[in-house]
C-alpha cells in the first residue's frame, strides 16, 4: 500500500512538474481613426456605428477628430464601450466649420487582448450638410497604430 502511495505521488509530481502555466494574455492599446468622406458637400453632422469583437476589444476612450468642426469628442452611448458596438454622432453648430471631403471625425482608443490587430467595421448611419439635408457620404475606420507610437 505504501509503495502504491509513493508511486502515485511520484506520478502526480512528475505530471505537475511538466505542466506549463498558461501565458497571460497579451494586452496592447491601439488607436482607430473614424473618417467620413462627404465628397464635395460640406459635412455638418454624422452618425456612425463601429462594430468590434467584444471578447477581445474594449473601447477605453473616445476623442474628437482632426477636422475643425469635429474636434470635440462625439456623443456616444457609454455601454457601447464594452458591448461590441458603439454609436458615435456629432454635429457642428457653426456652418462655417463644416468641412468637405474626407476628414477624421473621431478616434477610438482600444484595449486589445492578443497580438493581432483588432478587426473593426464601420457603418454610416447618416450624414447631413448645413441645414440638415442628407448628403451622400462614406465612412471608414482604420488603425492608427499602437498608442505611444509616433503620431499618437
User: So what's the pLDDT on residue 129?
Assistant: 96
Using an 8 Å Cβ cutoff, are 120 and 50 in contact?
A: yes
Q: Are 98 and 43 in contact (CB under 8 A)?
A: yes
Residue 19 in any domain: the answer is: no
Asked if the structure places residue 131 within a domain, the reply is yes
Question: How far apart (Å, rounded) are the C-alpha atoms in residues 136 and 40?
Answer: 10
pLDDT tens digits, one per residue of 66-97? 989 999 999 998 988 889 999 999 999 899 99
* Average pLDDT for the chain: 86
12 and 52 Cβ atoms separated by less than 8 Å: no
Nearest to residue 34, comparing CAs of 92, 105, 130, 99?
105
Q: What CATH number has the domain bearing residue 36? A: 2.60.40.680
Q: Count structural domains, the chain.
A: 1
* Domain ranges, residue 102: 24-146
Average pLDDT over residues 125-147: 93
The answer, yes or no, to whether residue 150 has pLDDT greater than 50, is no
pTM of the model: 0.79
Distance CA 34, CA 127 (A): 14
Task: Give a yes or no: residue 16 inside a domain.
Answer: no
Amino acid at each position: 500500500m505504501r509503495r502504491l502511495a509513493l508511486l502515485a505521488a511520484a506520478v502526480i509530481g512528475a505530471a505537475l512538474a511538466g505542466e506549463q502555466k498558461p501565458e497571460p494574455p497579451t494586452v496592447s492599446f491601439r488607436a482607430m481613426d473614424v473618417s467620413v468622406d462627404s465628397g464635395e458637400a460640406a459635412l455638418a453632422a454624422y452618425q456612425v456605428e463601429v462594430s468590434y469583437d467584444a471578447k477581445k476589444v474594449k473601447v477605453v476612450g473616445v476623442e474628437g477628430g482632426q477636422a475643425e468642426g469635429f474636434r470635440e469628442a462625439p456623443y456616444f452611448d457609454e455601454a457601447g464601450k464594452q458591448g461590441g458596438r458603439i454609436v458615435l454622432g456629432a454635429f457642428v453648430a457653426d456652418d462655417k466649420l463644416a468641412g468637405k471631403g474626407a476628414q477624421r471625425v473621431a478616434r477610438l482608443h482600444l484595449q486589445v487582448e492578443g497580438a493581432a490587430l483588432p478587426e473593426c467595421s464601420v457603418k454610416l448611419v447618416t450624414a447631413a450638410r448645413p441645414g440638415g439635408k442628407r448628403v451622400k457620404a462614406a465612412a471608414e475606420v482604420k488603425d492608427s497604430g499602437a498608442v505611444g507610437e509616433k503620431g499618437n
